[in-house]
Amino acid sequence: MEIGLLQHFRNFLGDEGIITDVDLIAPHLKEWRDRYFGNTPFMLAPNSTEQVQKIVKFCAQNHLKLVSQGGNTGLVGGQIPMGEILLSLHRLNKIREINPLDDCIIAEAGVILENLQNAAAQNNRRFPLMLASQGSATIGGLISTNAGGVHVRKFGMMRQLVLGLEVVLPNGEIYSELSALRKDNTGYDLKQLFIGAEGTLGVITAASLKISARPKYSVNAMLGLENAQMAVECLHALEEQTAAITAFEIMNKQALQFGIKNLGARNPLTELHNFTALVEFEGAFPDLPEHIEDALSTLIEAGKINDATIAQNEAQANSFWHLREGMSAAQKPEGRAAKHDVSVPISKIPSFLDQAEAAAKNIVNGARIVAFGHISDGNIHYDVARPENMPDDEFQNFIKDINHAVNDVVVSLGGSISAEHGIGIARKDEFCAREPKAHLELMKALKAVIDPQNILNSRNLFS
Amino acid sequence: MKILVPVKRVIDYNVKVRVKTDETGVDLANVKMSMNPFCEIAVEEAVRLKEKGIATEVVAVSIGVTPAQETLRTALAMGADRAILLTTDVDPEPLAVAKLLKAVFEEEKPDAVIMGKQAIDGDNNATGQMLAALLDLPQATFASEVVVEGGKAKVTREVDGGLQTLEVALPAIITVDLRLNEPRFASLPNIMKAKKKPIDIKEASAYGVDLAPHLKVTKVTEPPKRSAGIKVESVGELVAKLKDAGVI
């Protein structure tokens, strides 16, 4: 590495802002599921928007490529550099403003989601985005991937929670509109361009975000269900009866078995059911538990639910969520898997599960199907784990075919091959092959106008 | 065999406790309240004894504000047969609680009292011992295993330096520790059944026990915040820093 280049960055970033120690960079180059390992000449860690601006301007002038990274929790490889300079936003971690009366919080890109949730809670407000990696995932990455999670049915995806953005553009200019407005119809809504753009159109440095009232009462229940159709019916029956559902997650039997085995968790229900649902209800009045108990027992009596349990304290509620949120970690010891993050219209979930299973097993007989996710918004994490006795290397050969077959089912049901994780590098072949040509051309045209030198996250999205 | 299980409604132990701004106590407004975790273990043990056919009836008793009924409903959903609530708006101290439990014991005449070793709010670890003394009954505290056989209970207890096994003649007072069991999840059918089980509600004041506190809390404050640590490069540097700090 040229000493001159390092010295240039060190001059305005200081020693803390440029990291060359291989051991310190290593954790930033490895995707946590061990699916991607990258390399980079050095890592830049600016702590202000001005520093980001200087970095990008310099890189634009010198044709240097950057890969931006937040909490490194992305699941499609988009945050892992392959030779590019790594731009880590983790030091850009200030919460600039909290305005409870505007229901608005302004946070920098490197703020960890959990810290944002806590900051809102301290002001008697709630930032409703909730997902398994919230202890590491950062705001910039969550916006760049338009993250979803468990509360999407009620509160929407990240896109619905963003009021305004501050973005360093590929030419070093700044787009800045950290607005608190819910209504603003003045021209193109430019911020939408950067949300879910996977860092290809700019580096997000800060955002103004929606906060809302905190829930006063919550109830968490685990339901044992006979099949996916029952899950869909239960979702709607419970919503009609309680109007209080904030999350409705399912796990198939295999998923729960992996959870119990590999997370050391207990099954909250006395038996293993074909599907287990974790349902979260929220309300403003103390009789919420009673309403939920009544609604659930009506469904049990009607034979719509096999069994159910309601958390009697926070520890039990946490143990339900521990199982659900540990689903990815629980699969790690089981070897290679073909992973999918798909969505279909809610009513099509049962057909999807049936057809995808047939398609996957047609390719690898004995594959273990791990299906879990957000039935309340149609998003299923559909993982096909290798048969117990098949070596990883052998199974690896089938992954592309399985991906393709599962995606065929998804598309035939009017679904999306990437619901909430994005395209990154993992799904770009499937994406580019399936996306209508006109859409792809428009996306590429936008990229060419905004980042003509292709310096930002240049390997994401397009082959 | 009848088992009496005292249970206490306390701040949920997963809730981050906040001190009231006037420093008079812990802020309980709009805070999730649950059954004391040690009491939950006691209920579980009593219900398991019933499921093994050793106990015939499990009676849960609580002393406190009217919403403590919810805590009793949890005990009933776990498998207790009926419940008693002695209502009072004062927060009674261990001795007053022990005296009230003595009165309930004399009414109910159970063969054993199984209760938590302490409540996580006051952390007194006193009521079980006081109750045994007031009733002049054997006590086996901090149980990690309970075996009931032939009118006796063999209780393994966790003591400093290991385990001790006691044999006590019943009736006796057994207080339970964390490792005794893992409480069950209440199934919805059992939650619904629990709604139909009786809770006998009485005024605590009717027992003629002096409930007025004998201790006055002068101030409750948060523990001082820990300041950030530092990293040292070598043992030598560590020793030097410890010397600077005057700790060695």
For B226, the token pair is 């820990």
B34 Cβ under 8 Å from any chain A Cβ:
yes
DSSP designation for B223: P
First vs last C-alpha separation in chain B? 59
Interface test with B, best of A225, A306, A312 (most B CBs within 10 A): A312
Q: Which residue segments constitute the domains of chain B, with CATH numbers given?
A: 2-244 (3.40.50.620)
Q: Cβ neighbours of residue B102 under 8 Å, at least 6 residues apart?
A: B131, B134, B135
pLDDT, one tens digit per residue, over B9-62 is: 999 999 888 899 899 889 888 889 999 999 999 999 999 999 999 999 999 999
Least CB–CB distance from B30: residue in A216, A307, A318: A216
Residues of B in contact with A316 (CB under 8 A): 185
CA pair distance A146, B237, nearest whole angstrom: 47
- B198-211 burial: b if 16+ Cβ within 10 Å, else e: ebeeeebeebebeb
In terms of DSSP bridges, do strands A307-310 and B112-116 run parallel, antiparallel, or are they unpaired?
unpaired
A307 Cβ under 8 Å from any chain B Cβ:
yes
Sheet of B172-176, strand order? B162-169, B152-159, B139-149, B172-176, B112-116, B2-6, B57-64, B82-87, B199-203
Shortest CA distance to B36 belongs to which of B15, B65, B10?
Answer: B10
For chain A, the domains span 3-88, 95-213, 217-328, 336-421
Q: Residue B233 above 90 pLDDT?
A: no
Residues of A in contact with B32 (CB under 8 A): 313-314
CA distance B163 to chain A (A): 26
Q: Cβ neighbours of residue A346 under 8 Å, at least 6 residues apart?
A: A232, A235, A375, A376, A377, A378
CA neighbours closer than 13 Å in the CB half-sphere of residue A301: 7
Interface test with B, best of A305, A313, A314 (most B CBs within 10 A): A313
pLDDT at residue A267, as a whole number: 95
Distances in whole angstroms, Cα of residue B137 to Cα of each of B99, B153, B224: 14, 13, 42
Identical fold between A3-88 and A95-213:
no
Q: Cβ neighbours of residue B16 under 8 Å, at least 6 residues apart?
A: none
B21 Cβ under 8 Å from any chain A Cβ:
no
Residue B113 CA, distance from chain mean position: 12
Distances in whole angstroms, Cα of residue A121 to Cα of each of A68, A118, A134: 29, 5, 15
CA pair distance B71, B84, nearest whole angstrom: 11
A380 Cβ under 8 Å from any chain B Cβ:
no
The CATH number of A3-88, from 3.30.43.10, 2.30.40.10, 3.20.20.80, 3.40.50.2300, is 3.30.43.10
CA dihedral A424, A429, A430, A436 (to 10 degrees): 100
Least CB–CB distance from B14: residue in A266, A308, A315: A315
Mean pLDDT of chain B: 94
CA pair distance B160, A392, nearest whole angstrom: 49
For A206, the token pair is 């800060």
Residue type, A169: L
First vs last C-alpha separation in chain A? 28
A288 Cβ under 8 Å from any chain B Cβ:
no
Least CB–CB distance from B74: residue in A300, A309, A312: A312
pLDDT at residue A381, as a whole number: 96
Least CB–CB distance from A268: residue in B12, B35, B185: B185
A412 Cβ under 8 Å from any chain B Cβ:
no
pLDDT, one tens digit per residue, over B109-158 is: 999 999 999 999 999 999 999 999 999 999 999 999 999 998 999 999 98
pLDDT at residue A2, as a whole number: 62
* CATH architecture, domain defined by A95-213: 2-Layer Sandwich (3.30)
Sheet of A43-44, strand order? A18-19, A43-44, A85-88, A66-69
Query: Do B191 and A222 count as a contact with CB atoms less than 8 A apart?
Result: no
DSSP string covering A303-349: TS-SEEEE-SSHHHHHHHHHHHHTHHHHHGGG--EEEEEEE--GGGH
CA pair distance B190, A309, nearest whole angstrom: 9
pLDDT at residue B226, as a whole number: 83
CA distance A397 to chain B (A): 43
Query: Do B188 and A312 count as a contact with CB atoms less than 8 A apart?
Result: no
The yes or no reply on domain A217-328 and CATH 3.30.70.2190 is yes
Check: CB of residue A46 under 8 Å from CB of residue A140.
no
Burial of A456 (C-beta count, 10 Å sphere; 0-12/13-18/19+): buried
Query: Do B188 and A269 count as a contact with CB atoms less than 8 A apart?
Result: no
CA pair distance A395, A387, nearest whole angstrom: 8
- B51-75 burial: b if 16+ Cβ within 10 Å, else e: eeebbebbbbbbbbeeebbbbbbbb
Alpha helices in B54-167 (DSSP H): 68-78, 94-108, 127-135
Which residues pair with residue A67 across a beta bridge?
A86
pLDDT at residue A16, as a whole number: 93
A271 by DSSP, 3-state: which? coil
Check: CB of residue A225 under 8 Å from CB of residue A255.
no
DSSP string covering B123-143: ----HHHHHHHHHT--EEEEE
Query: Do A296 and B186 count as a contact with CB atoms less than 8 A apart?
Result: no
A53 by DSSP, 3-state: which? helix
CA distance A268 to chain B (A): 6
How many A×B Cβ pairs under 8 Å?
58
Per-residue pLDDT of chain A (463 residues; tens, 9 = 90+): 567 899 999 999 999 999 999 999 999 999 887 888 999 999 999 999 999 999 999 999 999 999 999 999 999 999 999 999 999 999 999 999 999 999 999 999 999 999 999 999 999 999 999 998 999 999 999 999 999 999 999 999 999 999 999 999 999 999 999 999 999 999 999 999 999 999 999 999 999 999 999 888 999 999 999 999 999 999 999 999 999 999 999 999 999 999 999 998 999 999 999 999 999 999 999 899 999 999 999 999 999 999 999 999 999 999 999 999 999 899 999 999 999 999 999 999 999 999 999 999 999 999 999 999 999 999 999 999 999 999 999 999 999 999 999 999 999 999 999 999 999 999 999 999 999 999 999 999 999 999 999 999 999 999 8
* A336-421 CATH fold: Alpha-Beta Plaits (3.30.70)
CA distance B10 to chain A (A): 11
Least CB–CB distance from B188: residue in A266, A300, A318: A300
Burial of A250 (C-beta count, 10 Å sphere; 0-12/13-18/19+): buried
Query: Do A313 and B182 count as a contact with CB atoms less than 8 A apart?
Result: no
Task: Please compute the mean of the pLDDT values over residues B88-100 and round it to a whole number.
Answer: 95
Shortest CA distance to A143 belongs to which of A81, A76, A189, A74?
Answer: A74
Q: Cβ neighbours of residue B159 under 8 Å, at least 6 residues apart?
A: B142
